[in-house]
Amino acid sequence: MKALRPFAKVRALHKRRDRSDKVSARVQRMLVKSLYAQPSSLAIGALATVSAAFVAAWIADRNELYIAAILLSVIAVARIVAALGLSPDSEGNSTAKLEFVYEVGAFSFALVLGCTAAFTILIGTTTQVEVLMVANALGYGIGVSARNAGRLTIAIGQLSLSCVPIALAAFWTGSPGFIALGLTILLLIPAMISIASNIFNVLRDSIASAETSAKLADRMKILARTDVVTGLANRAGLNHAMVETMMSIDDDSHLALIWIDLDRFKEVNDLLGHPVGDRVLSEVARRLSDVCPEGSTVSRFGGDEFVIFCPITDRKHAELLASEIHAEIMGPMRIDGDRLEVRASLGVALLPEDGADTDTLMQSADLALYHAKIGGRGQTRFFDASMTRDLVRRREIEDELRAAIQREELSIFFQPIVDLETGRIRTFEALVRWFHPVKGELRPDEFIPVAEETGVIVTLGNWITAQAARVAATWPEDVTVAVNLSPLQIRAPGAALGIRNALREAGLDPHRLELEVTESLFVEDNHATSNFIQELSDIGVKFALDDFGTGYSSLGYINKYPFNKIKVDRSFVSGKNVGRKSDAIIRAVAEMGSTLEMEIVAEGLETIDQVEAVLEAGCTLGQGFYFSRAVPDYLAAMLLTQEREGDTKKVVG
């Protein structure tokens, strides 16, 4: 419904226009302006008439006619001076004043001219003089009534004042020729009035419709710059406002660009529906508009993102403002009686220190926002230069990653996961390695997030699974392979098929593949995830929950999905905060594992003490540098051979 509102306004505007046949003030002004257009035509007309009057006075040799000619000259000069002095474009000259000045001049000129012509008839001068003056007065009246049709009263007034005296004088003489002239004039006046009023209508309508189109165009321009949901400026509106602001500020001004992203807004839309989502956006918009200082542009940049461009005094002020905005958004809101809480991440860039123009400023704020989001959301980050260095490195990685697979710069290393009771290798975890020709060995922590963001992870992940499965197929039957999967890879279409193809091509039994997923996968609980897990566990693929204890640690999904293993994150084993608490957590997880018949893997075992501690706590499997680092496939095979040889020796011995 809301989306229709601005268009309804435009329709209402149309309706109002259709109904109004009164001339609006603006249209009236335009029409009055038409009177003052081309003062030269006024001058030429006056010159012709005045000259005719002097010629008539000279031929007739009558002082009255000289006086009339002088009077006409004086009026004409006064009018030209007034026309040049009174600018119709200046707001200081009211429409009424402009009209009045014109009226006085026009009426007096027409009256003097009409009376002069009438006078030549009454005193019975020569035909020459009569024709000269009568023709002049009639011509003037007719011509000027067409010219000034924009103001009907003036047109009709000038016509009547210049023609009626002639008609009256003509009737007065009583001679048939003049009576006929009088009658002609009396017929001429209504005919001219009708013509003038036709011209007036056409003029008025065309000016009015030009006005309407101009207003509509203005309105459309505003609409195009407004977000329909929140009424804030949209992206175009923000750009426009930024350009205007940048043009009006001086060199020592400070501005802040604050980029806001609502955290997990998609969930609000998915769970409560789009109408509620829209109202949340409107409420956020209202709060932002309230909290921002005068002169700020608050815009909805699209989706759940808002951008604020505002004047500030200094960095401290920007920090204060950002924290006010943050607090304002996070305050609970009531939508349809439901209490909702929205969280947001903020990225802030300042002018001039973080960018001298709006483009750079936007990039800086965007980058700061990105860091706020990866830093765990719900945060505010101010731009700093290290972010750009990071970005440059990430861009390089992004470009090179695509080519790396073809260039065989990537390889898979394998780290054993060992049975803590027997010391035997049960599984190898496949861990990707990138040997970059220039940058050297890159850690997965550096390039996996880039691969995830750019979507390269799907191709990369399929390649890793295929490679790992191929290597695992060469191992003894009882040794399994564990492959890490990113949430993004799982949600990609055809993800399960990719895994099945890898297994088939390698000839690896699905029971020998284990997929490690992290808790972050379940934050957005969707169908794609459950279908993926279901489809693969149906054919025997196993699932392990990786990095347990670092994420959201809701136990709901442990119950919901068929996990065979839980891998307790290495921060509980060898991290700096290891102590009684982490020990208690490992014990609790191990106990849960034995109840639910899941194996518990302790990650990051580096010392024999740690191995003993986790074994004592109830973990069944262990992984870490104590046993082995991740090694290339031929070394993994060697570890297995050594182990098996040891067994045969034991059996033989």
The one of ligand C2E, Ca ion, none whose footprint includes residue 448, by CB under 5 to 8 A per kind, is ligand C2E
Work out whether 605 is an interface residue with ligand C2E (CB under 6 A): yes
Among 261, 305, 400, 546, binds Ca ion (CB under 5 A): 546
Tokens of residue 186, six digits: 């009396």
Taking the complex as a whole, the smallest distance from the CB of residue 267 to ligand C2E amounts, in Å, to 24
Q: State the residue for tokens 């695992």.
A: 472
> How many residues lie near ligand C2E (CB under 6 A)?
25
Among 484, 529, 582, 620, binds ligand C2E (CB under 6 A): 484
In this complex, which beta carbon is closest to ligand C2E, that of residue 278 or of residue 514?
514
Taking the complex as a whole, the smallest distance from the CB of residue 505 to Ca ion amounts, in Å, to 23
Among 136, 415, 484, 610, binds Ca ion (CB under 5 A): 484
Q: Which range touches Ca ion (CB under 5 A), out of 6-14, 39-47, 348-356, 481-489?
A: 481-489
The one of Ca ion, ligand C2E, none whose footprint includes residue 624, by CB under 5 to 8 A per kind, is ligand C2E
Work out whether 427 is an interface residue with ligand C2E (CB under 6 A): no
Query: Vertex 47, ends 45 and 50: CA angle to 5°?
Result: 105
In this complex, which beta carbon is closest to ligand C2E, that of residue 346 or of residue 469?
469
In this complex, which beta carbon is closest to ligand C2E, that of residue 381 or of residue 570?
570
Work out whether 387 is an interface residue with ligand C2E (CB under 6 A): no
Closest CA to 483 of 468, 498, 500: 468
In this complex, which beta carbon is closest to ligand C2E, that of residue 255 or of residue 431?
431
> What whole-number distance in Å separates Cα of residue 285 and Cα of residue 275?
15
For 411, phi then psi, to 5°, come to -150, 165
Longest dimension (CA), the chain: 159
Instruction: Say which residues have a Cβ less than 8 Å from residue 156's Cβ, sequence separation at least 6.
Output: 145, 193, 196
β-bridge mates for residue 440, sequence order: 436
Q: Which range touches ligand C2E (CB under 6 A), out of 60-68, 105-113, 377-385, 624-632?
A: 624-632
**Measured distance between the N- and C-terminal CA atoms of the chain, rounded to whole angstroms:** 85
Q: State the residue for tokens 């000289």.
A: 66
Work out whether 416 is an interface residue with ligand C2E (CB under 6 A): no
For 409, phi then psi, to 5°, come to -90, -15
Q: Which residue is nearest to ligand C2E (CB)?
A: 624
> What whole-number distance in Å separates Cα of residue 363 and Cα of residue 1?
35
Q: Which range touches ligand C2E (CB under 6 A), out of 9-17, 151-159, 424-432, 589-597?
A: 424-432
The one of ligand C2E, Ca ion, none whose footprint includes residue 163, by CB under 5 to 8 A per kind, is none
Query: What is the sign of the dihedral through the CA atoms of 170, 171, 175 and 180?
Result: positive
The one of ligand C2E, Ca ion, none whose footprint includes residue 432, by CB under 5 to 8 A per kind, is ligand C2E
Between the alpha carbon of residue 352 and those of residues 71, 294, 319, 358, 484, the distances in Å are 69, 20, 16, 10, 44
Tokens of residue 192, six digits: 């001219």
Instruction: Say which residues have a Cβ less than 8 Å from residue 12's Cβ, sequence separation at least 6.
Output: none
Closest CA to 416 of 111, 202, 629, 178: 629
Instruction: Say which residues have a Cβ less than 8 Å from residue 293's Cβ, sequence separation at least 6.
Output: 310, 311, 312, 321
Q: How many CA atoms lie within 13 A of 360 on its CB side?
A: 11
Q: Which range touches ligand C2E (CB under 6 A), out of 96-104, 148-156, 278-286, 621-629?
A: 621-629
Binding mask 73-112 for ligand C2E (x = CB under 6 A): ----------------------------------------
The one of ligand C2E, Ca ion, none whose footprint includes residue 445, by CB under 5 to 8 A per kind, is ligand C2E
How deeply is 565 buried, as exposed, middle or buried, from its count of CB atoms within 10 A (0-12, 13-18, 19+)? buried
Q: Which range touches ligand C2E (CB under 6 A), out of 69-77, 254-262, 437-445, 581-589?
A: 437-445
Work out whether 604 is an interface residue with ligand C2E (CB under 6 A): yes
Among 305, 400, 514, 516, binds Ca ion (CB under 5 A): 516
The one of ligand C2E, Ca ion, none whose footprint includes residue 274, by CB under 5 to 8 A per kind, is none
> Under rule CB under 6 A, which residues in 509-568 are in contact with ligand C2E?
516, 546-547
Q: Is the peptide bond before 293 cis (omega within 30 degrees of 0)?
A: no
Q: Which residues of the shown chain bind ligand C2E in the complex (CB under 6 A)?
A: 415, 430-432, 443-445, 448, 461, 464, 484-486, 516, 546-547, 570, 574, 604-606, 623-625, 630
Q: Which residues of the shown chain bind Ca ion in the complex (CB under 5 A)?
A: 484, 516, 546-547
